[in-house]
Structure 1
Amino acid sequence: MRKNCSGQFFLLPNRIFDERLSPNEFIVYSFLVRAKDSAGQSFWSVPMIAKSCSMCASTCRKVLRSLESGGYITISKRFIGGEQKSNLYTVNKI
């Protein structure tokens, strides 16, 4: 048993297991749920998401597009000073 556990956790709806997500989709969706703010949004970079999910960036991009096409997330481009800096990922409720 772990001692000194910080008690930090995040919740996923039980229904996630009925969605037939691939293992990579499940991991990235779970990461975005964990990383989102109170508005359901996160703006982590693809390389950082990929690293956190133990996958390469190209696989992560494919998974993000798949999650978006499935309606699980919404991807919006973020511009700062006229340059695209990262994407804004909004987690949609299942």
Structure 2
Amino acid sequence: MTCSHAPAPPTQHRAGHLRWMFLTWCADCDWPEIQAFVATGHGNAKSEGINRMIKLAARAAHGFRNSTNQRLRTRCVTIRRARGHLHPA
């Protein structure tokens, strides 16, 4: 049973045209972040992912009382090779 109000999916040609229109708009816009992404192909996804992991670690610990432990736990969460090798100063 299909809904009569749902739009039909776009054809492959239409989807390609809409993508081209969006990328053209991105290249022509005045936002420096979008222009940098179009020019370099690099975004901030990696830093956003690391920030998310840090916030989740802080939530799991219900806050940190000791700044040294906070740095160590953050480092353990974000750098795999550091796990098990960190010692408080």
Normalised-by-shorter TM-score class? 0.3 to 0.5
Compare the two structures and name the one with the higher strand fraction: 1
TM-score (norm 2): 0.32
Greater relative contact order (CA < 8 Å, ≥ 6 in sequence): 1
CA radius of gyration, larger in: 2
Compare the two structures and name the one with the higher helix fraction: 2
